[in-house]
Amino acid sequence: MNKIKVFRAFFLGLTLVIFSSCSVKKNGVVAHRGAWKTNNFPENSIASLRHAIDLKLAGSEFDVWRTADDSLVINHDAHYNKLLIEETNYEDLIKFKLSNGEKLPTLREYITEGKRNNKKTLLVCEIKPSEISKERGKKTALKAVETIKKLKADKITCYISFDYEILKQIRQVDPVTALQYLEGNKSPQEVKSDNISGIDYHYSVFQKHPEWIKEAKDNHITLNAWTVNDANIMDWIIENKFDYITTNEPELLNQRIKNKK
Ligand code: MG
């Protein structure tokens, strides 16, 4: 074999190694609002994120809102202790602790914890659509992306949203970050045409549109399903080899995945 052929073979081998290490492992378990259930942690707390990372899960999901005075905070509902987050200042929100004594986390605090001793867990960042205006939601998304980039966590973060405009806004400022659409009303080809790289739909959407599973795979659209807590539905999704499965029951899902092997 001459030298050129040896080099060619070497680079082909190298390319294959790089590509196979980039490919997403199937059936990655994503803890919905962190891994909170078994230890009775509050949802979306730092403790629930830490537990997801310690369990070495493929991902941990959380929800982002922006306060009236522009702080990004982690909470599921639009309200926190009966206060509408978007119309309340940060200082007034943190007067109330979470049930485990934690302060309402900011995005900065959450991501900082998410980077600590974390080799496996993707930070799945849901940007909540604004209850005030579409524009406000898009601005929240831009601020979240800016914060995550400043903390150098963009490589371990993906963004999800029910608001398609929010995802398109993120795509405008970041051509490569992973985006997954939540609403369940667009086909894989439709999202691909808008440069959205994944779909994360309620599992019932895939039961109604089983053809979207193959369509997503054929178009290299990441597949994720929420919120899969029932063992039979877990088994159905596992058999269909989704990239990710979002659940409130990560331990049970891990067990079901092991059973299938
Ligand atoms: Mg969420």
Opening angle at CA 155, ends 227 and 159, nearest 5: 35
Burial label for 113, CB within 10 Å (0-12, 13-18, 19+), is middle
Separation of CA 110 and ligand 1 centre (Å): 15
**Of 229, 234, 165, 242, whose CA–CA distance to 200 is shortest?**
242
More confident residue, 237 or 5: 237
Pick one of 3.30.1300.10, 3.30.930.10, 3.20.20.190, 3.30.1490.20 as the CATH number of 178-261.
Answer: 3.20.20.190
Separation of CA 200 and ligand 1 centre (Å): 11
Q: What share of the chain is helix, strand, coil (3-state, %, to 5)?
A: 45, 20, 35
Which segments of the chain belong to CATH 3.20.20.190?
Answer: 32-156, 178-261
Separation of CA 189 and ligand 1 centre (Å): 24
C-alpha distances (whole Å) from 43 to each of 46, 75, 125, 150, 227 are: 9, 8, 14, 25, 14
Burial 124-150 (b: 16+ CB within 10 A, else e): bbbbbbbeeeeeebbbbbbbbbebbee
Average pLDDT value over all residues in the chain:
93
According to DSSP, the residues that pair with 213 across neighbouring strands are none
Separation of CA 44 and ligand 1 centre (Å): 9
Render pLDDT for 68-107 as a digit per residue (tens, 0 to 9).
999 999 999 999 999 999 999 999 999 999 999 999 999 9
Q: Which CATH class is domain 32-156?
A: alpha beta
Render pLDDT for 120-174 as a digit per residue (tens, 0 to 9).
999 999 999 999 999 999 999 999 999 999 999 999 999 999 999 999 999 999 9
What pTM did the predictor assign? 0.91
Q: With beta carbons less than 8 A apart as the criterion, state whether 174 and 201 touch.
A: no
d(C-alpha 105, C-alpha 206), whole Å: 33
